[in-house]
């Protein structure tokens, strides 16, 4: 995927969010630190262009909710910033890559501590498979079959697949 | 096993990392539900051989906000009264399967011994006149919150430096982060030697105050003073107390700090403690977040504390 493909995917996902929710009333975006945050911002810009509505963008770091605390180094990348009261809202979680699903599971736990959303949806740029928990995305930029030991990187210029450096 | 025993173990990078992590816990503490599941199933025990209100409660709050279980031990109601040694007590508590011990003791070095005796993470919550690293961390965090950075700041530490573990830890931490520290005290309340301390010394508070970005007042530790070091408390207050008149010498942006508990009317005037430049309650609030960061770093992150 190059930068243009990325832009088209974001535009399509934005349209799907509007269509699926019959507008943008009480829709809130929550970008997962760190890869989901720039995507959430771009989604909000696109949503503004197509619906002329300002959708709040919040950011969430799930470090303290992970299930592998103590098993590997876990440190937050950034401070969580959730200004909206999520109770009664439709929350769209945004992340760059969906892999095992454990980050999303942790994010669902974290969201609970900020209120009770009416519903939670999941938007990801890349679904690379290998799920370890029963989680599925509502909006997908691209399904990208990978090997477990590969790395997927979503940047401004597009998506790259590399080998895991360890 | 990793511990937090001295500020010196952290180094500038370790300090910086902990302060950055603290920001995440300030956010957690500000929520409607200020609790995360990060340390579920871990047990933190406070082993306090000296009295404490804020440090003990602060650690307990921090552990609970991380979903850890907490146990408390205080000398007055324990087998110490029956003559049990520190080592036996530590080994007994460790045998119950705890993950971290928060240790305060009147003698310097006890937390190091505890770390040798028990296979748990040990946090020094004050050992004699020696060190109190989490106090230094919360002070650095509070200064950063107000001033952005400690680099180049002029910090005056005023009062009973001799008996103060807070002063020792703070001199280390402040200078590691690039601040210029001046100790202001009568000669009898300074340590016998300051060789190797990265500080300047003054005996004239009125001269230091107008230039100071931060004034850090120490508690007059009457319980540790075994000899007559001062003619009278009144004389101390007239020369080294931050009275209302003297507070007028402070710059507009200067902040006033105190580790608590305050002797109002001795080292700090009652009104001064309530001035806008006083960040004393902010220090207490930040103390919880800093201790969450320390506990998480030691028990949860798998990360390394310092060298």
pLDDT in tens, A62-73: 999 999 887 777
| CB pair distance less than 8 Å for B301 and A75 | yes
Is the peptide bond preceding residue B261 cis, with omega within 30 degrees of 0? yes
Greater confidence (B244 vs B78) lies with: B244
* Residue B125 domain-assigned (yes or no): yes
Which among A64, A70, A79 has CB closest to B23?
A79
pLDDT of residue B306: 47
Q: What is the mean pLDDT of residues A123-128?
A: 97
Q: What is the mean pLDDT of residues B271-284?
A: 90
Q: Which of A61, A75, A113 sits opposite B303 (nearest CB)?
A: A75
DSSP string, A109-144: HHHHTT---SEEEEEEEEE----SSS---SEEEEE-
B168: CATH? 3.40.50.1370
Q: What is the pLDDT of residue A144?
A: 94
3-state secondary structure of A25: coil
Residue scoring higher pLDDT (B106 or B77): B106
Mean pLDDT over B134-163 rounds to 97
Distance from CA of B57 to the nearest CA of A (A): 22
Highest mean pLDDT among A15-19, B77-81, B272-276: A15-19
For B31, nearest residue in chain A (alpha carbons): A114
Task: Write down the pLDDT at residue A128.
Answer: 95
**Mutate which of B26, B31, B36 to disrupt the A interface (most A C-beta within 10 Å)?**
B36
In degrees, rounded to 5, the angle at the alpha carbon of residue A105 between the alpha carbons of residues A103 and A110 is 90
Chain B residues inside the 8 Å CB shell of A106: none
Burial (CB count within 10 angstroms: exposed 0-12, middle 13-18, buried 19+), residue B71: middle
Span A2-25, average pLDDT = 96
pLDDT per residue over B85-109, tens digit each?
999 999 999 999 999 999 999 999 9
Tokens 């498979």 locate to: A129
For residue B305, being part of any structural domain is answered with no
pLDDT digits (tens, 9 = 90+) for A77-108: 899 999 988 999 999 999 999 999 999 999 99
Distance from CA of A145 to the nearest CA of B (A): 31
Contact present, B36 and B67 (Cβ < 8 Å)? yes
**Could you give the C-alpha distances from B35 to A9, B32, B40, B253, B261, in angstroms and in order?**
37, 9, 11, 34, 27
More confident residue, A75 or B210: B210
Question: Under CATH, which number does the domain A3-163 receive?
Answer: 3.40.50.2020
| Model pLDDT, residue A165 | 58
Task: Inform me whether the pLDDT recorded for B303 exceeds 80.
Answer: no
Examine the domain organization and report whether B246 and B140 are in the same domain: yes
* Interface touch A113/B301, C-beta < 8 Å: no
Domain ranges of chain A: 3-163
- Residues B138 and B92 grouped into a single domain: no
Please tell me whether residues B219 and B275 are part of one structural domain: yes
Q: Name the residue in chain B with its Cα closest to that of A66.
A: B38
For B40-72, the pLDDT digits (tens) are 999 999 999 998 889 999 999 999 999 999 998
Gap between the Cα atoms of B261 and B69, Å rounded: 27
Q: Are residues B83 and B160 in the same domain?
A: no
The whole-number pLDDT of residue A166 equals 47
Query: Domain total for chain B?
Result: 2
- Predicted local distance difference test score (pLDDT) of residue B226: 63
At residue B302, the pLDDT reads 63
Number of Cβ atoms within 10 Å of the Cβ of A23: 11
**3 state SS of B55:** helix
Structural domain of B220: 133-280
Give pLDDT, residue B225.
Answer: 67
Q: Within this chain, do residues B119 and B199 fall inside the same structural domain, yes or no?
A: no
Q: Is the pLDDT of residue B207 over 90?
A: yes
3-class secondary-structure state, position B151? coil
* Residue B275 in this model has a pLDDT that exceeds 70: yes
Predicted pLDDT at B1: 46
Task: Please report which confidence band the pLDDT of residue B273 belongs to, taking 50, 70 and 90 as the band edges.
Answer: confident
Question: B239 with B190, same domain?
Answer: yes
- pLDDT above 50: residue B214: yes
Model pTM score: 0.92
Calpha distance B104→A38 (Å, rounded)? 46
Task: Outline where DSSP puts E strands in chain B.
Answer: 43-48, 69-74, 100-105, 121-127, 154-158, 180-184, 199-202, 214-217, 255-257
**Using CB atoms within 10 A of its CB, is residue B270 exposed (0-12), middle (13-18) or buried (19+)?**
exposed
CB atoms B27 and A79 under 8 Å: yes
- B174 in the same domain as B78: no
- CA-nearest residue to A84 within chain B is B31
Q: Using the structure block, give the residue that is written with the tokens 């190059």.
A: A2
Instruction: Mark yes or no for CB contact A76/B38 under 8 Å.
Output: no
Q: List CB contacts (< 8 A) between A76 and chain B.
A: 21, 24
CA nearest A86 in B: which residue? B32
Sheet containing A119-127: give its strands across: A57-60, A27-32, A90-98, A119-127, A139-143
Among candidate residues A154, A124, A126, the one with its CA nearest the CA of residue A139 = A124
Q: Given phi > 0 = left and psi -120 to 50 = alpha, else beta, which region is B131? A: beta
d(CA A157, CA A155): 5
CB–CB of A69 and B300 under 8 A?
Answer: yes
**Same domain (yes/no): B119, B17:** yes
Mutation pick from A75, A102, A111, A114 vs chain B, by most beta carbons of B within 10 Å, is A75
Our measurement of the distance from residue B209's CA atom to the centroid of its chain's CA atoms, rounded to an integer in Å, reads 23
The distance of B143 to chain A (nearest Cα, Å) reads 19
Q: How far apart are CA B93 and CA B100, in angstroms?
A: 10
Does the beta-carbon distance from A65 to B38 stay under 8 Å? yes
Runs of H (alpha helix) within A21-96: 36-51
Instruction: Give B104→chain A minimum CA distance, Å.
Output: 26
Q: B120 and B142, same structural domain?
A: no
């Amino acid at each position: 995927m190059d930068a243009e493909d990325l832009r088209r995917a974001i535009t399509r996902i934005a349209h799907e969010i509007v269509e699926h929710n019959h507008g943008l009333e009480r829709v809130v975006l929550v970008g997962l630190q760190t890869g989901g945050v720039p995507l959430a911002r771009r989604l909000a810009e696109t949503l503004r262009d197509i619906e002329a509505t300002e959708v709040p963008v919040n950011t969430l770091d799930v470090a303290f909710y992970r299930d592998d605390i103590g098993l590997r180094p876990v440190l937050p990348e950034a401070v969580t910033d959730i200004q909206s009261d999520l109770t009664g809202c439709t929350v769209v979680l945004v992340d760059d890559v969906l892999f095992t699903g454990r980050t999303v599971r942790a994010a669902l736990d974290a969201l609970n501590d900020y209120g009770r959303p009416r519903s939670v949806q999941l938007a990801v740029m890349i679904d690379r498979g290998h799920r370890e928990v029963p989680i599925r995305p509502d909006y997908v930029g691209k399904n990208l079959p990978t090997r477990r030991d590969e790395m997927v990187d979503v940047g401004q210029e597009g998506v790259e697949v590399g080998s895991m450096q360890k | 096993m990793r511990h937090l025993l001295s500020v010196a173990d952290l180094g500038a990078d370790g300090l910086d990392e902990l302060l950055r992590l603290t920001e995440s816990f300030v956010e957690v503490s500000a929520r409607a539900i200020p609790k995360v599941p990060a340390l579920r199933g871990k047990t933190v025990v406070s082993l306090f051989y000296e009295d404490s209100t804020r440090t003990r409660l602060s650690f307990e709050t921090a552990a609970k906000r991380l979903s850890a279980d907490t146990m408390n031990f205080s000398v007055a109601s324990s087998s110490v009264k029956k003559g049990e040694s520190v080592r036996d007590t530590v080994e007994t508590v460790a045998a119950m399967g705890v993950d971290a011990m928060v240790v305060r003791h009147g003698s310097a070095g006890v937390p190091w011994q505890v770390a040798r005796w028990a296979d748990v993470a040990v946090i020094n919550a004050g050992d004699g006149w020696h060190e109190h690293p989490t106090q230094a961390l919360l002070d650095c965090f509070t200064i950063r919150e107000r001033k952005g950075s400690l680099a180049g700041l002029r910090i005056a530490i005023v009062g009973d430096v001799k008996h103060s573990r807070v002063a020792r830890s703070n001199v280390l931490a402040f200078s590691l982060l690039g601040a210029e520290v001046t100790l202001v005290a009568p000669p009898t309340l300074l340590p016998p030697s300051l060789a190797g301390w990265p500080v300047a010394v003054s005996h004239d508070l009125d001269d230091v105050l107008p230039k100071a970005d931060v004034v850090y007042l120490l508690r007059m530790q009457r319980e540790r003073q075994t000899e007559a070091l001062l003619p009278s408390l009144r004389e101390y207050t007239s020369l080294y107390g931050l009275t209302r008149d003297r507070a007028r010498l402070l710059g507009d942006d200067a902040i006033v700090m105190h580790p608590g508990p305050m002797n109002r009317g001795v080292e700090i005037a009652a009104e001064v403690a309530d001035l806008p430049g006083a960040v004393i309650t902010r220090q207490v609030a930040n103390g919880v977040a800093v201790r969450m960061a320390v506990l998480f770093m030691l028990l949860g992150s798998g990360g390394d504390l310092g060298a």
